[in-house]
Each structure stands twice: as structure tokens, then as C-alpha cells.
Structure 1
Amino acid sequence: MSIPMESLFLYLPIFLALYVVTKHLLNKIQNLPPSPFPSLPIIGHLYLLKPPMYRTLAQISKRKGPVVLLQFGSRKVLLVSSPSAAEECFTKNDIIFANRPRLLIGKQLGYNYTSLAWAPYGDHWRNLRRIATLEILSAARLQVLYSIRIDEIRSLIHRLFLKQFQSVDLKTMFNELTMNVMMTMIAGKRYYGEDLTNLEEANMFKEIQAETFKVSGTTNIGDHLPWIKSRELEKRLMECRRKRDEFMQELLEEHRKEKGTYISAEKTKTLVEFLLKLQETDPEYYKDEIIKGLMMVLLIAGTDTTTNTMEWTFSLLLNHPEILKKAQTEIDNRVGHGRLLDETDLVHLPFLRNIINESLRMYPVAPLLVPHESSDDCKVGGFHVPRGTMLMVNMWAIQNDPKIWVDPRKFKPVRFDGVEGGRDGFRSMPFGSGRRECPGEGQALRMIGLTLGSLIQCFEWERPSKEMIGMREGIGFTMPKAQPLIGKCHPRPTMLKLLSQT
């Protein structure tokens, strides 16, 4: 028996109303966190989302509270936007939330969820984490690799000295700096600047990196609505993975061939050399895919984030010349004019650290952190959170909440006076917290501090025009600036002699 079309149109609104009301009542009965009304069939709350997502989610939290349950298609999402709720997730429930959701980017760029960033919590992830924290990014290892960072920063200073009184694209310069540092650490190669040994290889690397950041920052609706797959995006991710995989495989083969021609000192081994040595001891575990996965994580997580932080911080300084001058005075008093800033000086420059911490508070490079997923039922804020719920911690909302911070949108580095390591409980944690917090925090802060401190020490800076630097946020996972930073500089008279020798 067929139902007349007129009847369908009559009953459809009734059905939708019953569905929405029933779902709303069930949430209350199950003691689930509050949820925006209504949650629509199939799409849930996806209709509410507009870019930038962290601002949209912050508005939802203002209305519904610091612990909110959302429905992104078929996926439950716990949205947390208060220090106390974040603390509960990363302390009491840290193991439960130590998993990662299975998103398309983790499959394609995370070697089928086996890389450090996307692997599920377990023995394999713990081993990768141990290698990253104790071997690759430990304080001792970073100190050994100091010469790589200082050489690239000195090269940047020299380039700026040659371009004095000209407008320079600082976004590009910061990006090339961080890429060169990371690739020299990984494979002993530079792909930006002058005196490149293989221009074709360098151009290939640049192309792959640009495409990686482009596709990885694209929202994939298929992560939440599996039956609506973006074949174009998946195809682009697969092609990007193929190119990256081939490129890194060639680097591995090159190191294998060179193994017999030279012996690196144990302390100066590149990451590739170190991992290939591990492969010899346990070839069944340390397969090439595991090695390339670690290389991939460092290149994706350790470059764009550092570049963006330096760009945001320097933009704030150019808009607040009085703070820039205060930082300059601190460096003059602690370091002087007879030598260039050294990494060991950073511990004696608290105001510079405050500037970086304040920039990370205002413009966290991972405003929603990397998503987590619950491996079991738990409670957050007194509410029941079902197993398999994706956790999104809105760090942008927490770090810019006027209930937590006085004048949160004002650049006030002094608010971090006396705060150890830039963390103020769970009110400010731009690198995350718990088991899956970013292991590259030490590397990032060294790079950012030494780079910005050196530029402040060596040059007088100004905006290219009387207009303030635009601080509008662009679209992307790591919150880039909408407009690249352009600045002008000239050597400080007291540093001219040193700069002419770089």
C-alpha cells in the first residue's frame, strides 16, 4: 500500500519533532552533558558549525556551559571549555582519553593510525612516545643539536642585514628557518636558502610540504558522515601520502648507501641514522613505515606550529613597540652588545618568555588541541560520557575567557610574571596536557625564544606603514594569520660591528 505524497509532507514535521524531543529527553535520563537543541536526524549539530570552529564552539559553550555534548553526524563529541573540566579529562580520566579518533588524516598521513600522533593508546604508542621524549626530543639531545638551530638563525640574521630598510616577508623567513632546522635534524639536509646541494630535490620537498599543510587543514565531512565521503579529498590525501612516502623512502635508502662511507659521531647522528640503527636491532618492529611515520610527525607538528607562533608573536610586538623596547632593554642588560644572544641566555630573559607565553595564550597554534577519544565510559563535570566519544578541548576559549583572564584580548605579557614554564594550571596549556601532550614543547620554545630574541637584539623594527598589523585569524588547524606578516628593520648601531661579521 502506497502512502500519498501529501500524507508524507504532513507527517514529516511530526516525526522530526518527536525524534528531537525524544532524543533530548533520553539525554537527560542518561545524565549526558547538556546539548544544543535541536540535534537533527543524520547531521546532528553539524548545521551549527561555522569557521573558525573554535569561535563557534566557544559561543555554544557560553550558552550551554563548560561541558557540552555535541553530535557530529554519527559521532558523539564532548566539548570542554573550562580549566576544571580540562583538568578532569587530563588527570582523573587521562588514560581513558588517551586514544585518538579514527579520522581520515590519521589513516592517510599517519600510516594507517600507526604514527605517534594517531596511534591508539597501547604498547606501540608508548614505545614511540619513549623514543620521541627520551631519544629524539630530550633536553640532552636538543642541546647536542644546538649548532643546527644557531647556524640557521645566524643565516636569517645575515639575510635580514642584507635587506635592511626593506619590507621583508617574515612569514616566509620563519617558515624556511623552521623547515631547515627540522630537516637538518632529521636527515642532515637543507632545502631553503642559498647553497643548496640538490635544487630539484629541494623543490620537490617544498611542493610536498605545501600540499600536506593544505590538505591536512581541510575539514572532512566523511569523518562524521561516513556515507558521504569526499572522494576528491581522499584522493588528494592518498596522492600526498604517496609523494611523501616516496620522498622519505629515498632519504632512507640514501642513508643506507652512505652508511659504509662515513661514520657519524654518536652524538651528532641524524634522526634517520638513529632510527636505522634501531632497525638493525629489531627489524621486525622498526620497519621503514614506523621510521617514516616518526619523520612525518616531526615535519608536520614541528614546523608550521613554530612558524605561526613566531609570526603571531612578532605581529603583537610590532603593534606594541613599547613592549618590544622593553624586551630589547632586557636583552641589552642581560647579554650586552659584545656578543650575539645564545640559547643559554634564555633562562635569564623572563620578560621574553612572558611575551611568548602571552602570545601562545592569545593565539594557541592548536586552538582545539588534537582530538582525543574515550576508550571507556567515564564522568566529566558530573555527567556521563559514553565510550567512543571524541573529546575536543577548546583551548582558545579557555585562554581567552574574560571570566578567567582580565582583559583577555589585550597583549599583557606581565600577566605571566612568576608563572613557571608558562603554564598556569589548566588555564593555559597551549601544548596540551596528560599522556598525549606535545613532546616537542622544548624544541619549539628553544626555537621561538632564540629566534625572536636574536631579531630583537640585532635590529630596530617597525611596521611597513602607519597602519597596525592585521591580526585576523586565517583558516587552518594551526590557526595561521590571515595575512602574512611584513616588517621592516635596520641594524641597531650598537650591533653593527657584530652584524657586519655574520
Structure 2
Amino acid sequence: MTILTLLLYTCITGLVFYVLQLLNLRTPHPNRLPPGPTPWPIVGNLPHIGTAPHQSLAALATKYGPLMHLRLGFVDVVVAGSASVAAQIFKAHDVNFSNRPRVSGGKHIAYNYQDLVFAPYGPKWRMLRKICSVHLFSTKALDDFRHVRQEEAAILAGTLAGAGESTVKLGELVNVCITNALARVVLGRRVFVDVSGDGDLKAKEFQDMVKELMVVAGEFNIGDFIPALDWLDLQGVAKRMKKVHDWFDSFLNTILEEHKSGSSGGDFLSTLLSLKDDADGQGGKFSDIEIKALLLNLFSAGTDTSFSTVEWAMAELIRHPQLLKQAQEEMDTVVGRDRLVTEMDLSRLIYLQAIVKETFRLHPSTPLSLPRMATESCEVNGYYIPKGSTLLVNVWAIARDPKMWTDPLEFRATRFLPGGEKPDVDVKGNDFELIPFGGGRRICAGMNLGLKMVQLLIATLVHAFDWKLADGLDPEKLNMEEAPGLALHRVVPLMVHPKPRLAHHAYISG
């Protein structure tokens, strides 16, 4: 039997197998589902998704409203696209939507759902969350490692100050800085010796693999929605997921063995290993697989989303030089020009904080929230949500809703200043018109660490340098197009010339 014949046979078998479900697809539901586009046979609304799902779903919402129902293959999907709908979900129905659907990313990348991101809601997930909250993201832990973040920010500033007239790819340097800061806390050491990346292929390889992970994890895999086609891997998504998982697994196995045989202590991984054989009383024992899955979360989402936010912020400030100048004037008043900014300064930098919020609004690191699943049927916004439905919250669309924001496509930091339209709105999950980290029980566990790192790095780059685009490019013509993927990256990396503006000794670290 030829491959073509086998493929044809499989497809015909799949069509016959699902004919009853197809009939159900065409049969009106006895309850009132949210509105949405008419699904196609078999594939449902998958053709409506496109390469940038957050954008295509936002466009559909202008026709069908802030709560939509889609049929992706044979899976019910509801999309929340307004602050009021998100508030209902995260307040009244948070527990019901605290589970994750079983998707290929959790299976092939995240050690078969053993990580914090994809783990089912229950005792094991609560154990993982508690360990991270206590030992990594608590106020005490963040304060204890403040010096690490500041030292790595100073190293980045020194590297940029030494760049001279060279063009630098800012995102890559920021990524190395964030990865080293996280690695020192988690592993007790830096993983990239040279922040510039010169001659260090490992740094470039690591960044490429993290980027690939975030891109492939953001794919709408046909096999997740039409199970009969899963084994065919028509898009090659599963193959790419397995490849990136194998690379990370090798990297993490090396780190784990080094820690087990070494004399490390005081870092997060050493803490995890000390807890490994302790029964937690609810979720069983902590395994090597769970440790690696947790490290995978930290070294992918924990670095990739933060560096992309910093890159977007600097791109916006270069496009709006008057905002950059105002932020620099504030920092010269608060910090001066004889030293670098520190985390202790951030609470007094009101304009800088507004810039960070506006960056999170226009460029949320995860524009379409990680999928959740309805454990039981429920009612949201007057509509019936079937049990087992996948929930997507369009964070990107909510933050650009013209009903909630004046001139929503404009980068306008003043909207968050006293006297502005949203002076009291924060990004920590309580103000539903701005939820870049999500909301409810499954809000991003590393939110507070991510906020501190992003604020410090944006403050450092704004305070310590003036900026010009490479090749004399006009800032007004800077490409601001978004790349596809789970995280919101730029299609064109930001290439810049940094010019030091502080006293020379301020850039000498250590």
C-alpha cells in the first residue's frame, strides 16, 4: 500500500468515524451558545484563526461580540474579548476554569503535563505553585536576590557603554541579562559568561531554542482539535515540539546532575532537590521530572516574555522621543547622573512606571491567554458554556478596546499618571481591562519577579543611554509588526546605537 493510498484511506476512515459528530455539529444546541461564525464541516472554525490568532479573534469579535463561541474541529471554544466578560470568568467562575485542556504542548514539551503551566488543577499543581511562591517569588525571596538583578543590569549597561559606534541587537543582550539573573537565583551561577554573546554559540543556540519553543507552543495544532488526524502530524508541530523538548531535556539533565554531584547551596534548585523526597501530604513526592518541568517553565516563559516586553518598550520610546526625554528628566531628578538606577528608586519613578504599564497594555507578552477548560457547564454573560469547552481570553483585544480606552492604538503613558484616564489601573490581575499576566488562580506565578526585572531593565536603558536606530532609520518608520507565536515578539529585531549619558564611572560594575 502506497503512502498516498494509506493517507487517503485514513482520511476516509476518519470522516466516516466522525459523521455522527458532524451531524451533531450541524444540529442546533438546546441551550443558547454565544454567537460566532458558522463552522465548516470537519475543521469547524479553524480556517478563521490565521497566523496571528489574537488579531483574527479580535476582528471576529467586532462582529460577534465580546463572548464568542467557535468550533475548532470537534472542540467547543469560547473567547472572552472584553473586561466585563473577563471579570465574570475570573471572579464568578474562576474555579470552574482552573483546569487546562489536554493539548500537544503540554504532552510533548512539558513532560506530559508535569509542569506548573499545564498541570491539572489539584493537589500536585498547588504543591508546585506553593514551592515557587515561597522559595522564588515571595517578597523575602525577591528582596534577598535584588542584588543579583541589579548586578546583571549593571553588566548589561557596561556592555552597551562599551559598544562604541557598533550596532547592537538589543533584544538578544537583554535576553542574556535576564537569563543570567534568573540562572543565578535558580542554579547559583550564570549560564552565559559573555553578555554580548560574542563567540558564545551556546547563548545564541539557547535563545533560538527558547524562541522556537514559544513559537511552536503558540501553534493551533490540528491534531488537538481533530484527534483522528493527530498521528499524522500534518503541520509538523508535534515533531518540532519533541525536538525542542529533547534539547531542553538534555540541558536540564546536565544541570540536574551537576547539582546532585556538586556542593551547590542557597539556590532554588538546591531547595527543590532537598524537597525531592519529602511527602507533601497532598500531591505525593517531588520527582526529577517535576523539577525539570518546573525549570523548563522558568527558562522559557520566565525569560522570553520579559525580554520581549523590554524590547517593545524601547521601540516605543525611540518612536516617541518626547516620552523618552520626559522619562530621562524624571530619572535625572530622582537618581542623578552619577550612578545607575536601582530597584529602590523605582517607586519614585512615576512616569517610568506609566511607560511600563502602557507597554504591557499595547504589547502584552502573552496576547492570547493560555487555554483553560470548563470543568462543568456554566453560564457567562447570559450564554451557556458547555462542559469541556476551551476558554481563551484575548488579553491583547481587551487592552485595545475603544470602549475602555481613549485612542487605544496610541502609545500614551500619560493615561496612567495622576489626572489621566486610568491613574489607578494596575497590571496584577485585579483591573480586568489590563491583565497581561492573566487573572484568577492560574495567574502567572512569576508576575512579581517579571515586573521587577522589566521595570529595572527599562529604567536602566532609559536612564543610562540615548538611542539611535541603526543605519539612520527614521523612528517614525520603525517596523512594529508582530511575529506569530505564544509570546508577542517583534518581526524585526530592534537594532540600535546606544550613547552613554551618565558619568563614566557609573558604567563600571563590580
TM-score between both structures, scaled by the size of structure 1 = 0.89
Cα deviation, 1:159-204, whole Å, max 9, x if unaligned, reads 11111333211111111112222222221232334299x9787677
Structure 1 equivalent of residue 467 of structure 2: 461
Structure 2: which amino acid aligns with 1:316? Answer: E
Structure 2 equivalent of residue 437 of structure 1: 443
Distance of 1:386 and 1:441 partners within structure 2: 31
Cα deviation, 1:23-50, whole Å, max 9, x if unaligned, reads 56723x41111121x2222111112122
Give, in angstroms, the shift of residue 210 of structure 1.
Answer: 4.9
Distance of 2:227 and 2:167 partners within structure 1: 48
1:228 match: secondary structure: helix
Structure 2 equivalent of residue 12 of structure 1: none
One of 255, 278, 284 as aligned partner of 2:275: 278
One of 493, 496, 500 as aligned partner of 1:487: 496
Cα deviation, 1:211-269, whole Å, max 9, x if unaligned, reads 4345334432111111222534323322332332232122112111113xx6x3xxxx2
Distance of 1:200 and 1:340 partners within structure 2: 30
Structure 2: which amino acid aligns with 1:270? Answer: D
Structure 1 equivalent of residue 170 of structure 2: 170
Structure 2 equivalent of residue 240 of structure 1: 244
Structure 2 equivalent of residue 9 of structure 1: none
Give, in angstroms, the shift of residue 325 of structure 1.
Answer: 0.6
1:303 match: secondary structure: helix
Structure 2 equivalent of residue 70 of structure 1: 70
Please say if residues 116 and 293 of structure 1, whose CA atoms lie closer than 8 Å, have aligned partners that are also in contact.
yes
Q: Confirm or deny that 1:406 pairs with 2:403.
A: no
Structure 1 equivalent of residue 228 of structure 2: 227
> Which is worse superposed, 282-291 or 432-441?
282-291
Please say if residues 399 and 428 of structure 1, whose CA atoms lie closer than 8 Å, have aligned partners that are also in contact.
yes
Distance of 2:361 and 2:54 partners within structure 1: 14
Q: Confirm or deny that 1:318 pairs with 2:318.
A: yes
Structure 1: which amino acid aligns with 2:28? Answer: L
- The unaligned stretches of length 5 or more in structure 1 are 1-15
1:367 match: secondary structure: coil
Q: Confirm or deny that 1:49 pairs with 2:49.
A: yes
Give, in angstroms, the shift of residue 280 of structure 1.
Answer: 3.8
Please say if residues 215 and 486 of structure 2, whose CA atoms lie closer than 8 Å, have aligned partners that are also in contact.
no
> Which is worse superposed, 152-161 or 230-239?
230-239
Give, in angstroms, the shift of residue 120 of structure 1.
Answer: 1.0
Distance of 1:215 and 1:199 partners within structure 2: 25
Structure 2 equivalent of residue 498 of structure 1: 506
- The 1:471/1:100 distance shift into structure 2, 3 A limit, reads same
Larger radius of gyration: 1
Structure 2 equivalent of residue 472 of structure 1: 481
- The unaligned stretches of length 5 or more in structure 2 are 1-18, 418-422
Q: Confirm or deny that 1:421 pairs with 2:429.
A: no
- The 1:34/1:501 distance shift into structure 2, 3 A limit, reads closer
Structure 2: which amino acid aligns with 1:55? Answer: Q
Please say if residues 164 and 491 of structure 1, whose CA atoms lie closer than 8 Å, have aligned partners that are also in contact.
no
Distance of 2:110 and 2:41 partners within structure 1: 31
Cα deviation, 1:416-468, whole Å, max 9, x if unaligned, reads 12325346721111100000000111111111111111122111222332422
Structure 2: which amino acid aligns with 1:216? Answer: A
Give, in angstroms, the shift of residue 311 of structure 1.
Answer: 0.6
Q: CA RMSD in A?
A: 2.4
Please say if residues 191 and 205 of structure 1, whose CA atoms lie closer than 8 Å, have aligned partners that are also in contact.
no
One of 25, 28, 41 as aligned partner of 1:26: 28
Distance of 1:219 and 1:386 partners within structure 2: 21
Q: Percent of counterpart pairs with the same letter?
A: 32
Structure 1 equivalent of residue 456 of structure 2: 450
Please say if residues 176 and 203 of structure 2, whose CA atoms lie closer than 8 Å, have aligned partners that are also in contact.
no
Structure 2 equivalent of residue 138 of structure 1: 138
Please say if residues 178 and 303 of structure 1, whose CA atoms lie closer than 8 Å, have aligned partners that are also in contact.
yes
- The 1:162/1:210 distance shift into structure 2, 3 A limit, reads same
Distance of 1:226 and 1:190 partners within structure 2: 42
Distance of 2:468 and 2:137 partners within structure 1: 35
One of 238, 254, 261 as aligned partner of 2:258: 254
Structure 1: which amino acid aligns with 2:314? Answer: F
Q: Confirm or deny that 1:35 pairs with 2:36.
A: yes
Structure 1 equivalent of residue 366 of structure 2: 366
After TM superposition, list the pairs within 5 Å mapping 1:323-334 onto structure 2: 323-334=323-334
Distance of 1:202 and 1:43 partners within structure 2: 40
> Which is worse superposed, 202-211 or 235-244?
202-211
Structure 2: which amino acid aligns with 1:281? Answer: D
Structure 2: which amino acid aligns with 1:244? Answer: F
Give, in angstroms, the shift of residue 121 of structure 1.
Answer: 0.8
Distance of 1:258 and 1:407 partners within structure 2: 56
Distance of 2:427 and 2:115 partners within structure 1: 28
Please say if residues 167 and 486 of structure 1, whose CA atoms lie closer than 8 Å, have aligned partners that are also in contact.
yes
Structure 2 equivalent of residue 11 of structure 1: none
After TM superposition, list the pairs within 5 Å mapping 1:203-218 onto structure 2: 205=206, 208-218=209-219
Structure 2 equivalent of residue 105 of structure 1: 105
- The 1:206/1:32 distance shift into structure 2, 3 A limit, reads closer
Structure 2: which amino acid aligns with 1:456? Answer: V
Distance of 1:34 and 1:422 partners within structure 2: 29
Q: Confirm or deny that 1:122 pairs with 2:128.
A: no
Please say if residues 180 and 192 of structure 2, whose CA atoms lie closer than 8 Å, have aligned partners that are also in contact.
yes
Distance of 2:296 and 2:508 partners within structure 1: 38
Please say if residues 458 and 495 of structure 1, whose CA atoms lie closer than 8 Å, have aligned partners that are also in contact.
no
Distance of 1:217 and 1:77 partners within structure 2: 16
Structure 1: which amino acid aligns with 2:225? Answer: H
> Which is worse superposed, 45-54 or 370-379?
45-54
| Number of residue-to-residue matches in the alignment | 473
2:220 match: secondary structure: coil
Structure 1: which amino acid aligns with 2:480? Answer: M
Structure 2: which amino acid aligns with 1:243? Answer: W
Please say if residues 427 and 437 of structure 2, whose CA atoms lie closer than 8 Å, have aligned partners that are also in contact.
no
Structure 2: which amino acid aligns with 1:448? Answer: V
Distance of 2:213 and 2:48 partners within structure 1: 28
- The 1:95/1:487 distance shift into structure 2, 3 A limit, reads same
Structure 1: which amino acid aligns with 2:426? Answer: G
Please say if residues 483 and 491 of structure 2, whose CA atoms lie closer than 8 Å, have aligned partners that are also in contact.
yes
2:426 match: secondary structure: helix
Please say if residues 416 and 422 of structure 1, whose CA atoms lie closer than 8 Å, have aligned partners that are also in contact.
no
> Which is worse superposed, 414-423 or 375-384?
414-423
Give, in angstroms, the shift of residue 277 of structure 1.
Answer: 0.8
Please say if residues 313 and 355 of structure 2, whose CA atoms lie closer than 8 Å, have aligned partners that are also in contact.
yes
